[in-house]
Structure 1
Amino acid sequence: MRILLGVSGSISAYKSLDIARGLVKKGHEVKVILTEGALKFVVPEVFTYLGVSDVYKAQDDFVHKNVLHIDLARWCDVFAIAPVSANTLSRLAQGQASDLLSSVFLALEPHKNTLIFPAMNTNMLHHPFTEKNIEDIKKLKTLNNLFVSPTDAGILACEEVGLGKLPNVDEIIEIIPTMIKPIQSADQKTILVTTGATIVPLDPVRYLTNSSSGITGYYLAEAALSMGHKVVMIAGAHSTAKLNLYSKHPNFKLLRAKTVEEMKDAVHSHLNDADLYISSAAISDIEFDVSDSKIKKDSMGDSLKIKPATDVLKTVLEKKSAKLKVVGFAAETDPSDSVLNKKMQSKPVDLLVGTKVNNGLTKNQEVTGFNADFAEYRLLSPKGFTYEGILTKKELAHKIILQFFPPN
């Protein structure tokens, strides 16, 4: 992807070096525009050392043989400005073309997104002029191509505490590549995903869970967002923190659920709006009669009473609308034909993803499927098996989304 990164004169400008480096490491081609203010905080040559293709200064439009702001607007797939100072925000909101950065902003083609990441003192952020500028620039959302990120709260460079911090660098690095498609479009779908492990309480001290990390959900979100879709992610309480990196994405919603019932309630509260439901979570199939106090050893005996837990996927299929497509996951130590066909017959989904797993805790067996970026999969549709083999979880995520929503 070709990413144009604008940097303005905020104290957070030094973080743009890490943003540029992170994007380059992910394989993207990056060019940088520095405002006059940015040059007070960062040196152009450092960006070049970090792998950036080209670095431009505020008035380079006048020393370039072509019309540089037009060339750059045509070249990029997405235009991200991080950080955006109060001064640069004001110029953008007023439609000024007083330097290279603001000229590119005006010259950008309507289908390309501009991503704005403000960073400034709390009082400056809340000043009526700044709030008005943010309000004015957000009106451009009618073009479906502008995103203004919320700021973070914390201790600022001026030692005041409050909103105004640039979002976490890792968040910005994750969000930018997933926003090449229009923020809103007629082709946009809503994808509801469960991921990670549920928790089954035994008493106030003990509980049962499993080794699912939720990393499959992270890659499903990355794939779906990159294709321009909306994602509602319902994750187990202990699922990977990488899901939080998309928390500011305009098309991403994250909810955490501890128990099976919490996950079921969250799923059904979002089911009516979904076009695709992907049940990738490792949801427990058993529950205990929960004790209100810690069960003492001498009263445990040699067994614990269990009962079947609610089958969340089954409840979804019972209420499935005509438009909803459903993907089920089956984590098995032996995802054989008979095992997967039996599951497909009992819960007829549009796609069943059989995953070979082992937590490695029995008989010194190798860990497979869990806490890894790849696994052995068998994909079963109502017409038969469509794929068998090893895939990275990133590859699996793209394969699933594209099967239901191929590009036009």
Structure 2
Amino acid sequence: MPDVPDPRPLEGRRLLLGVTGGIAAYKAAVLVRLFKKAGAEVQVLMTPDATRFITPLTLGTLSEREVLIEIFPENADGSWTKHVGLGLWADLFVVAPATAQTVAKLAHGFCDTMLTATALAARCPLLICPAMDHDMYRHPATRANLERLRSYGYEVMEAAHGELASGLVGEGRLPEPEAIFDRVVAMLAGATEAAGSLAGRHVLVTAGPTREALDPVRYLTNHSTGTMGFALAEAAARRGARVTLVAGPTALPTPPGVTRVDVVTAEEMHAAVQAHRDADLVIGAAAVSDFAPEAISASKIKKTGAEMVLRLRPTPDILAALGREKRPGQVLVGFALETDDGPANARRKLEAKNLDWIVLNDPKEPGAGFGPGTNRVTLLARDGTVEDLPRMPKRAVAEAILDRVAVSL
């Protein structure tokens, strides 16, 4: 029998629909109805100029939710932070129509409306559907902005060809609502497939720095923020894994669906990892201190003007311990932060610790290493494969790493 199409393919899905100030804004009403009929919850965000073309009352009635426009609403109930909550709530953010102005704002990180603020805060995929006059659409600035959005990981649906509001004929029309709807269904179906790629697996991730006390006031540590490890934990959870995140000291919030174990020292991290050493996939993204003070002073060490000599002892090698006990089918992934002879040092670590993959990055390279922004990594596999990834946001790096290592399971 032929497959029967699912009458509600978006059942339980949560969509953000961004509507900007172009003549095609009227098609947003059709989009809302299509999304709702397919079972989705829809929250509409409008730019102020969009209200010149279609009223918030219309879209609010169809979506059964208050339409949000300004980032600073008149009430004082704390709802100005809704952009953060919505960015976590949504499964997909669609901007249709996306004018040249909004495309430029999104490409360069402007944050002046609820729509643009939510786009910056969103952790979900974004689908951009441009609509403007032909010459605006083909202008090098617009093309460059659309390419920039693609580099962020956004999907861009090319504009359709046809009659335009100016009377010209050419590219620039908003794709028909049914075509946008089909793209949304396909994107979410793909996300579901990706999310299921780790279903039933236990993934253990370490993240952040460790702190090794000198006295009650001071400690040895490093510049790690934990961002890369947290991005990996979040991405694994989205793919359906049961995720345990062993985190050193960091202020980052726990990703949705992740079980977090907080530790401070390398010894504590080692113990926590050993407690979950049966995980199917272990990703050691933490920047673990290699050495700790041999003795911790019970009192604050006073400055005397004389030289201070510290005696340090090695801390446990967490991944090497797992490598010695690795069971069949288990996959171990390490990180190597190297300032010199990176590939050679990373390959030595991979072999010495019995890892399956190692992720190499250089803190001296712009946009790589520690910090909350981007990373530029090289993946080295046990079979000798080497792959250089471009500089990307750490969330995108996390997805790329999981795309590669998941096939080893």
Q: Does 2:222 correspond to 1:210?
A: yes
Deviation at 1:299, TM superposition (A): 8.8
Deviation at 1:49, TM superposition (A): 6.3
Q: Which residue pairs with 1:377 in the alignment?
A: 377
Q: Which residue pairs with 2:320 in the alignment?
A: 314
Quick check: 2:320–2:354 contact (8 Å CA) kept in 1? no
Q: Which residue pairs with 2:310 in the alignment?
A: 304
Q: Which residue pairs with 1:269 in the alignment?
A: 275
Question: Structure 1: which 5+ residue stretches go unaligned?
Answer: 8-19, 24-29, 32-46, 57-63, 83-98, 103-155, 160-164, 359-364
Q: Percent identity?
A: 27
Q: Does 2:406 correspond to 1:405?
A: yes
Deviation at 1:350, TM superposition (A): 0.7
1:173 aligned counterpart, secondary structure = helix
Q: Does 2:306 correspond to 1:294?
A: no
Quick one: structure 1 residues 385 and 227, their matched pair in 2 at CA, closer, same or farther if it must change by over 3 Å? same
199-208 or 397-406, larger mean C-alpha shift:
397-406
Measured against aligned partners, the alpha-carbon deviations of 1:110-136 in whole angstroms (never above 9, x if no partner) come to: xxxxxxxxxxxxxxxxxxxxxxxxxxx
Q: Which amino acid aligns with 1:384?
A: G
**Counterparts of residues 24-173 of structure 1 (less than 5 Å):** 30=17, 71-72=34-35, 75=38, 79=41, 170-173=84-87
Quick one: structure 1 residues 295 and 214, their matched pair in 2 at CA, closer, same or farther if it must change by over 3 Å? same
Q: Which amino acid aligns with 2:90?
A: I
Deviation at 1:48, TM superposition (A): 6.4
Q: Which residue pairs with 2:348 in the alignment?
A: 342
For 2:370 and 2:263, the matched residues in 1 are separated by 19
For 1:313 and 1:80, the matched residues in 2 are separated by 44
Q: Does 2:332 correspond to 1:331?
A: no
Measured against aligned partners, the alpha-carbon deviations of 1:122-151 in whole angstroms (never above 9, x if no partner) come to: xxxxxxxxxxxxxxxxxxxxxxxxxxxxxx
Quick check: 1:233–1:252 contact (8 Å CA) kept in 2? yes
1:210 aligned counterpart, secondary structure = coil
Quick one: structure 1 residues 296 and 253, their matched pair in 2 at CA, closer, same or farther if it must change by over 3 Å? same
2:321 aligned counterpart, secondary structure = helix
**Segments of 4+ moved more than 6 angstroms:** 2-7, 47-56, 99-102, 182-186
Q: Which residue pairs with 1:284 in the alignment?
A: 289
Q: Which amino acid aligns with 2:218?
A: R
For 1:191 and 1:52, the matched residues in 2 are separated by 44
Q: Which residue pairs with 1:181 in the alignment?
A: 192
Q: Which residue pairs with 2:209 in the alignment?
A: 197
2:378 aligned counterpart, secondary structure = strand
Query: What TM-score results when the alignment is normalised by the length of structure 2?
Result: 0.55
Quick check: 1:5–1:80 contact (8 Å CA) kept in 2? no
For 1:4 and 1:198, the matched residues in 2 are separated by 43
Deviation at 1:378, TM superposition (A): 2.2
Query: What TM-score results when the alignment is normalised by the length of structure 1?
Result: 0.55
Quick check: 2:216–2:297 contact (8 Å CA) kept in 1? yes
For 2:303 and 2:206, the matched residues in 1 are separated by 35
Quick check: 2:336–2:359 contact (8 Å CA) kept in 1? yes
Deviation at 1:293, TM superposition (A): 0.9
Q: Does 2:243 correspond to 1:231?
A: yes
For 2:347 and 2:377, the matched residues in 1 are separated by 14
For 2:38 and 2:307, the matched residues in 1 are separated by 70
Deviation at 1:367, TM superposition (A): 7.6
For 1:334 and 1:343, the matched residues in 2 are separated by 14
Quick one: structure 1 residues 380 and 53, their matched pair in 2 at CA, closer, same or farther if it must change by over 3 Å? farther
Deviation at 1:209, TM superposition (A): 1.0
For 1:271 and 1:3, the matched residues in 2 are separated by 38
Quick one: structure 1 residues 220 and 370, their matched pair in 2 at CA, closer, same or farther if it must change by over 3 Å? same
For 1:198 and 1:205, the matched residues in 2 are separated by 15
1:297 aligned counterpart, secondary structure = coil
For 2:285 and 2:230, the matched residues in 1 are separated by 11
Question: Structure 2: which 5+ residue stretches go unaligned?
Answer: 1-8, 45-60, 65-75, 92-123, 125-187
1:293 aligned counterpart, secondary structure = coil
For 1:331 and 1:285, the matched residues in 2 are separated by 13
